[in-house]
Amino acid sequence: MNKIPNRQAICDVLVQKAASDKDIVVLCSDSRGSGSMTNFANTYPEQFVEVGIAEQNLVSISAGLARCGKKAFAVSPACFLSTRSMEQIKVDVAYNNTNVTLIGISGGVSYGALGMTHHSTNDIAAMASNPNMRVYLPSDRFQTEKLVQALLKDEKPAYIRVGRNPVEDVYDENFSFELNRASLICEGNDVAIIACGEMVAAAKNAAALLKGKGVSARVIDMYCVKPIDRAAVLKAAKETKGIITVEEHTVFGGLGSMVSQITAAECPARVVNLTLPDEPVITGKSQEVFDYYGLNAEGIAKAAMELI
């Protein structure tokens, strides 16, 4: 079982690349520990900035450094980064198309028992609404590594949301990665399951359950929620009997909304959105929350059987 969380994978890439690239800077809002950035701070103290619990300043300072030619990575809990600093994200990063990568750690319901104050279940919608802002939810450590490596090569704003705990490996270190293109996990023509983030592993496991029932499920890892891979969505709409979307997010404005919008406009299809509810989410460990709302392999497989 994998024991490396995606947040640690981000740090590992930055530590490796910063040895030869002194333009890489990491900024934290009293979150170097929870963001797994302690190693970076200790290894490259001159390339690390501790802002303290001041998310607005975190984003604005990152934008300022980026405008001076630095490759800025702003690391903070997703629940605070995507809400408290929205003004600075909108103006300093998105509007000015600034090279800042926002790292939302402990996203979704990762903080579990701390409840709604610490959940980030609307961040996809919030971040995606900003012009120029790309939104990524990598599914495992290997995809996270390749995503960060790719973002180091461009100069555009991005938001990466990762969870707190280690997640099941979906890929291996040699898998083929393409920026802003969805990954096809499983072939299938009965139903398509489009998932992002931690839900991809559950979708993959659901496909295995469905195969045992004689159902062929296509699984698509839509880690690039914005820009979304429209071609992959439309292909799934044309070639299957319906689409299930799965995300650790509210029902409004996330992956499911985007997929539904695309299919409604260009290729009408049956689409079922599996999300967190439009109400305060229960408290508990991540998996307990997922199980309660059917965001697990069994729940996804059940929804697929009902759809077809």
Residue 234 confidence (pLDDT):
98
**Fold equal for 6-161 and 183-307:** yes
> If you classify domain 6-161 with CATH, what class do you get?
alpha beta
Spans of all domains in the chain: 6-161, 183-307
What average pLDDT does range 14-20 have in this prediction? 96
Q: What CATH number labels 183-307?
A: 3.40.50.920
Residue 3 confidence (pLDDT):
86
Residue 120 confidence (pLDDT):
95
Q: How far apart are CA 245 and CA 251, in angstroms?
A: 11
Residue 19 confidence (pLDDT):
96
The pLDDT-based confidence of 171 (bands split at 50, 70, 90) is very high
What is the pTM (predicted TM-score) of this model?
A: 0.97
Check whether 250 has a pLDDT greater than 90.
yes
Give the pair of three-digit tokens for residue 9: 């994978």
Give the pair of three-digit tokens for residue 4: 């490396």
Residue 20 confidence (pLDDT):
96
Judge contact between 76 and 28, C-beta under 8 A.
yes
pLDDT digits (tens, 9 = 90+) for 186-241: 999 999 999 999 999 999 999 999 999 999 999 999 999 999 999 999 999 999 99
Q: Phi/psi zone of residue 145: left (φ > 0), alpha (ψ -120 to 50 degrees), beta?
A: alpha
pLDDT digits (tens, 9 = 90+) for 112-137: 888 889 999 999 999 999 999 999 99
Check whether 1 has a pLDDT greater than 80.
no
61: closest CA among 52, 71, 51?
51
Give Cβ neighbours of residue 235 (< 8 Å, ≥ 6 apart): none
